[in-house]
Amino acid sequence: MRAKKRALLKLSGESFSGGSSLIDADSLSRTVNEIKSAITDCGVELAIVVGAGNIWRGAEKFVERDISDKMGMLATVMNSLALNDALNKAGVRSILFSASGVCGFVEKFNKEKAIQSMEYGVTVIFAGGTGNPFFTTDTAAALRAAEVKADILLKATQVDGVYSEDPKRNKNAIKFDSLTFQEALKKHLKIMDYEAFSLCMKVNVSVAIFDFYKDGNLKKILNGERIGTIVEA
Supply the pLDDT for residue 61: 73
Tell me whether residue 55 is in a domain. yes
Residue 1 resides in a domain: no
Residue 102 falls inside a structural domain? yes
**Structural domain includes residue 193:** yes
Q: Is residue 79 part of a domain?
A: yes
Structural domain contains residue 93: yes
- Cβ atoms of 136 and 169 within 8 Å: the answer is no
Tell me, what's the pLDDT at 19?
Answer: 65
Give the whole-angstrom CA distance, residue 10 versus residue 137.
Answer: 8
* Residue 179 to residue 182: CA distance in whole angstroms: 8
What is the SS3 assignment for 208? strand
pLDDT digits (tens, 9 = 90+) for 71-122: 999 999 999 999 999 999 999 999 999 998 777 889 999 999 999 999 999 9
Residue 163 lies in a domain: yes
What pLDDT is attached to residue 168? 83
Query: Under 8 Å CB-to-CB from 190, ≥6 apart: which residues?
Result: none
Structural domain contains residue 37: yes
Beta strand 94-98 with 6-11 is unpaired
Question: 189, 210 in Cβ contact below 8 A?
Answer: no
- DSSP one-letter string for 58-107: S--TTS-HHHHHHHHHHHHHHHHHHHHHHHHHTT--EEEEESS-BTTTBE
Domain hosting 43: range is 6-232
pLDDT band at 3 (very low <50, low <70, confident <90, very high): low
What is the total count of domains within the chain?
A: 1
Domain CATH for 37: 3.40.1160.10
Amino acid sitting at position 139: T
Rounded to the nearest 5°, which phi and psi values hold at 8?
-115, 125
What is the pLDDT, as a whole number, of residue 57? 79
pLDDT band at 135 (very low <50, low <70, confident <90, very high): very high
Residue 62 reports pLDDT greater than 60 = yes
Q: Angle of helix 25-42 relative to helix 65-89, nearest 10 degrees?
A: 60
